[in-house]
Amino acid sequence: MMLSVIYRYLGNILDRSSQTQRQAYNLPFFITEEFLTFVLLSMRYTWNMDQQTIDVYNKMALEYDQETTDFWVRFPVTFIDSFASKVRGKVLDVGSGPGRDALILKEKGLDITCLDASEEMVKLCLDKGLKAVVGDFNNLKFDDKSFGGVWAYTSLLHNLKADISKPLKEIYRVLSDDGILGLGLIEGDFDGYRESSGMNMPRWFAFYKKDEIEAILMGCGFEIIHFEQFKPRSRNYLNYICRKV
């Protein structure tokens, strides 16, 4: 939300760059249109995630939390149980949302840190007593090999397909040797904005064919050690546990 406000603010200035209007904004003489364009491009480069999707989650954080709170009641828990049994050390939940999965993993004794691009989602995590930070999936602000496990359940599907290797390589970097990745995606052949049940505001989704995502995982340095899938409604969920090799 904060970044989108800044974009609009700078955009308004760029649209009103006459001397009189610049004075109205109390801008110093060296703040030129070229300078502001550079700032905008720099911000877009360092924050690679889709801003519209982030804005939707900021606006509908509570609704999303209420809609998905019983996810692992409706879905088989074998996958999250399998991940928890294989991890050693600290865990990073990439795209934690309101902390639904993080609470389960914490109850299983794991030391977990939540990361989400939505400020409102992070606030919900903090309200539940979880460690949580705002961050970009594509530029994780953590040291190399600082986590024994990374959990990314139906979060990386909000990245463009063309950019999916970015967060996977970042996850690989922050994982310790032989670290474990728990990844959940949705099967399909789609890359674009769409609405979903309970969320009538379009978000970016990328769906993957099974062989497609498996090739990407191996190309990013992961060995698939467990796979399961389930289809509770119209969509088939692809669930992978991978080891860093």
- Look up the CATH number of the domain holding residue 92: 3.40.50.150
pLDDT of residue 48: 63
Helix/strand number for the chain, H first, E second: 11, 9
Residues 42 and 68 reside in one and the same domain: no
Residues 12 and 102 reside in one and the same domain: no
Residues 20 and 75 reside in one and the same domain: no
Tell me the pLDDT band of 219, cut-offs 50, 70 and 90. very high
Angle in degrees, CA 124, 125, 130, rounded to 5: 150
Is the pLDDT confidence value at 34 over 60? no
Predicted confidence (pLDDT) per residue in 164-197, tens digit: 999 999 999 999 999 999 999 999 999 999 998 6
pLDDT of residue 2: 41
pLDDT of residue 60: 95
Tokens representing residue 45 in the block: 């480069």
Distance, in Å, from the CA atom of 16 to the CA atom of 40, rounded to the nearest integer, reads 15
pLDDT of residue 102: 97
Residues 29 and 131 reside in one and the same domain: no
Predicted confidence (pLDDT) per residue in 55-64, tens digit: 999 999 999 9
Which is more confident, 76 or 101?
Answer: 101
Task: Please name the residue that has the structure tokens 């990439």.
Answer: 94
Cβ(184)–Cβ(217) under 8 Å? no
Q: How many CB atoms lie within 10 A of CB 40?
A: 15
Residues 69 and 171 reside in one and the same domain: yes
- DSSP codes of every residue in 159-216: S-GGGTHHHHHHHHHHEEEEEEEEEEEEBSSEEEEEEETTEEEEEEEEEB-HHHHHHH
pLDDT of residue 10: 42
Residues 25 and 93 reside in one and the same domain: no
Residues 63 and 164 reside in one and the same domain: yes
Instruction: Indicate the number of domains in the chain.
Output: 2
Residues 38 and 118 reside in one and the same domain: no
Cβ(208)–Cβ(185) under 8 Å? yes
Mean pLDDT of 131-139: 96
Residues 139 and 227 reside in one and the same domain: yes
Is the pLDDT confidence value at 72 over 70? yes
Residues 76 and 22 reside in one and the same domain: no
Tokens representing residue 91 in the block: 């865990």
Mean pLDDT of 40-65: 76
Range of the domain at 36: 2-46
Residues 98 and 205 reside in one and the same domain: yes
Residues 42 and 60 reside in one and the same domain: no
Q: Find the range with the poorest average confidence among 5-14, 24-33, 103-112.
A: 5-14
Q: H or E element: which one contains 5?
A: helix 2-15
Predicted confidence (pLDDT) per residue in 141-164, tens digit: 999 999 999 999 999 999 999 999
Distance, in Å, from the CA atom of 172 to the CA atom of 152, rounded to the nearest integer, reads 12
